[in-house]
Amino acid sequence: MVTAASGCASEETFVVADDIFAELGAPLPSATQEQIAAFERGREAALRRFTPAEGLGPEFNVTFCASCHEKPVLGGGASHYRDFLLVGDELSPGTVVPRGQNGVQRQFSLDSGLAPSDPLANISATRNPIPFFGAGLLAEIPDAEILRLADPDDADGDGISGRVNYDGSVVGRFGRKAQTARIELFIRGPLFNHLGITSDPLPNDRRRELLGFEAEAASKPDAAIDGIGAIIAAQAVIPDEPTADLDDVADPEISESELFDLVSFALLLAAPAPDAPTPGTERGEQSFRRIGCGKCHLPSLRSPRGAIPAYTDLLLHDMGDELADGFPMGRASGREFRTQPLWGIAAASPYLHDGRAGTIEEAIRWHGGEAESIRDAYLALEPGDRLDLIAFLESLGGAVQRTAGLLPPDAELPRSGEYGAPLADLDAEQEARFEQGRALFDRDFSYGEGVGPTFNGDACRSCHFDPVIGGAGPSGVDVMRQGIFSGFTFNAPEAGTELPRHATTAQRPEADAEANFFEPRQTPSTLGLGLLERIPRTTIEALADPDDENGDGIAGRAHVLDSGELGRFGWKASIPSLREFVRDALSAEMGMTLPDEPGFSRGILQDDDGVMDPEVDALTIDGLTAFLALLAPPPRTRVDRVAEDAGEEIFVSVGCALCHVPLLQTDEGIEVRAYTDLLLHDVAESGSFGIEEGDAGIREFRTPPLWGVSQTAPYLHDGRASTLQEAIQAHAGEASATRDRVGELIEAERAALLAFLRSL
């Protein structure tokens, strides 16, 4: 296979490198068995959920690396719920001092709930995560090849003036502004900036090991070192310092071996395999070249392996006022961005540095600056020619793995007894409704469809994905609540207690000026909610004992809403039904407007984002509600029946079952082993603060179901507990006596109790 590489003044043809293509997320076909082993370890490291005890925080955005690199598979990008903000203090045009954490605004604080905004920050910009596919191949491109293509003064008069950015003295190539030269730095930076995880730089011998470079070659002159070795030897001189923070966990918080594996994973990700050409994509490629797209999106770059067809020149280009973010990085101005590689673009939405474009067509239309004439040439094409050009771009890899959310194309339904399965014995119509609803639940919605103007997620799955679609979520997708306390008196801010994380503009939604208390809310699992909705109200109210008339120390009460309905969902039992649960989430978490449905009050009906209201129709609400109604509860997993049965007896004897009622029944007599009474209980420390909802007080919470609890860490309403043991110890108020009895258990009894809980 050959491909053309256009230089500044000539066009040459090179043979495409062997063994570089595979499906998205797979390792390079050329990788050795040793490298593949490191790749697989790195995949696991990318999925590792860090806890505060392991160094997470003290401020953070996410809890694991794969958070931002998940779409359509691990190693890719992500939708808008993983966007983050750069923040800085613009002293004058072109002079910006980074604020926040190395220029990154963090969202969460282990101490105060909400990570504060820097008062000196007066400029911000949105960043959408970048895919890593083929990144190791880009690392191999010699500096000289990138320098050869630069034309900063447009000497050839073609209107394109690509410039090189530098990371120290080495040519940059990674990041939206080519501000980073090494993948190691591109991983260590986010580890610290987004997770608060500290690291030490890899020693040079480990860096050479990453690419199979013989250690003794490091002493040779660069000119004598072939291919990859020369690159590693040159980049080893980049100044690199340990990161450190002030928490109680010893630095570095990630080991050298785990960091090595993470870098190995990124370096060894294969390039997206292109599709076989068709007459349409061949016509599209001709248009691509004819109108000038290839001037920046260069069809290939030369490397020691051969031609690398990434469709980028790795240079900076002025993209005009509308795309400008105002943030200089290295030698890049606030208007300049690195040419984004086009391989795998079919599966890489949303597009552009801030994800503002939901489609490839929209991304092209946003091009300005140096690309303005090329954009205009695209718009001047006949409609069929534009379609062919888009088809060509989509043929550059990833199209067969493209998905509307995270479910793989044609994903099969989980089987009965597996997490995420539908209820048993559904008829064909019900199963079809479940499958359609699951696809809606997983689907990423775009700005153009009405997400925003403020939001927490752009899909229901954004928060509910642990361990499957419909499950719970880690701390990195917590929603935030705000309140005003005068002494111990709670008041809701004028705008309400909800404080979204994201906005469709490059601004952080800021807290109410008077708010002085912030409370994260963990994502509860939706598995089995349909059965909980079918528990008769009389059954729940019969369990209530608000005045503790039986003297057992437990005073659970039903949350009766202003509407007269019984609340049963949410941390405060403030939502009465699944349809209201869906309506509430679509508006409060996604910022979407809803139709006015008689009998239902949750959700907003209008907003001012420019998208016609309602942004969600009744059929979509129907589909999402059907999915939740038909979603089976988590399956029980028995590992050690003797220990688990003993643990169940202890669970009852110490008093856990007084609130976590083991068995309820629907009107039809279906047993619901959710381990909840769906009542409100005061379980917080005396004198603690919290957010009120309806008449649920600051220390009252609904008893959370325990089925599937082993898969829903972290625990409690604010995620403060990383383990079940910590969650039990944090119980107070009505649960104090039970907590103390658990504390008095001998080690074997506590182990049995935890084994029982994990089996649920």
Summarised one tens digit per residue, pLDDT across range 569-613 is: 999 999 999 999 999 999 999 999 999 999 999 999 999 999 999
Domain assignment present for residue 246? The answer is yes
What does the pLDDT average to over 149-157? 95
Judge whether 514 lies within some domain: no
Does the structure show a pLDDT above 70 at 229? no
414 preceded by cis ω (within 30°)?
A: no
Residue 594 lies in a domain: no
pTM, two decimal places = 0.94
Give me the pLDDT at residue 169, please: 86
Please tell me the distance from the alpha carbon of residue 385 to that of residue 280, in angstroms, as a whole number: 9
pLDDT at 628 over 90: yes
Q: Of the candidates 193, 189, 48, 197, which has an alpha carbon nearest to the alpha carbon of residue 115? A: 193
Alpha-carbon Rg for the chain, nearest whole angstrom, is: 28
419 found inside a domain: no
Q: How many structural domains is the chain composed of?
A: 1
Average pLDDT for residues 298-308, to the nearest whole number?
Answer: 96
Is 280 among the domain residues? yes
- 397-451 pLDDT, tens digit per residue, is 999 999 999 999 989 999 999 999 999 999 999 999 999 999 999 999 999 999 9
Distance in angstroms (rounded) separating the CA atoms of residues 222 and 584: 61
Under the banding of pLDDT at 50, 70 and 90, the label for residue 13 is low
As a whole number, mean pLDDT of residues 29-48 equals 96
Q: Does the pLDDT at position 349 exceed 60?
A: yes
Q: How confident is the model at residue 212 (pLDDT cuts 50, 70, 90)?
A: low
Each residue's pLDDT tens digit, 667-717? 999 999 999 999 999 999 999 999 999 999 999 999 999 999 999 999 999
Nearest to 484 by CA among 519, 517, 520: 517
Neighbour-count burial of 758, counting CB atoms closer than 10 A to its CB (0-12 exposed, 13-18 middle, 19+ buried): middle
Residue 321 CB partners (closer than 8 Å, separation 6+)? 335, 368, 369
Dihedral sign computed on CA atoms, order 316, 308, 228, 187? positive
Position 208 pLDDT exceeds 90: no
Residues 327 and 125 sit within 8 Å (Cβ to Cβ): yes
Q: What integer pLDDT is reported at residue 207 of this predicted model?
A: 85
What mean pLDDT, rounded, does the chain reach? 94
d(CA 193, CA 100): 9
Helix or strand run (H / E) with residue 480: strand 479-486
How many CB atoms are closer than 10 A to CB 425? 7
How far apart are alpha carbons 273 and 99 in whole angstroms? 40
**What is the pLDDT at residue 12?**
58
- Cβ–Cβ < 8 Å for 461, 445: no
pLDDT at 11 over 70: no
Region 102-109 average pLDDT:
97
d(C-alpha 18, C-alpha 150), whole Å: 27
Per-residue pLDDT reduced to its tens digit, 505-555: 999 999 999 999 999 999 999 999 999 999 999 999 999 999 999 999 999
How do residues 459-483 score in pLDDT, each as one tens digit?
Answer: 999 999 999 999 999 999 999 999 9
Distances (CA, A) of 454 to 219, 269, 586, 587: 55, 34, 12, 10
Indicate whether 28 belongs to any domain: yes
Torsion angle defined by CA atoms of residues 555, 561, 565 and 571, in that order, rounded to the nearest 10 degrees: -60
Burial readout 605-616 (b: 16 or more C-beta within 10 A, e: otherwise): eebebebebbbb
Please say if the pLDDT value at position 121 is more than 90.
Answer: yes
pLDDT of residue 217: 32
CA dihedral 729, 556, 717, 528 (to 10 degrees): 110
Residue 748 covered by a domain:
no
Q: How confident is the model at residue 2 (pLDDT cuts 50, 70, 90)?
A: very low
Token representation of residue 198: 């500290």
State yes or no: pLDDT of 109 exceeds 90: yes
C-alpha dihedral (749, 754, 755, 760), degrees to nearest 10:
140
Residue range(s) defining the domain that contains residue 186:
2-83+128-201+240-394
Identify the sign of the CA torsion 183, 189, 191, 195: negative
- Residue 24 covered by a domain: yes
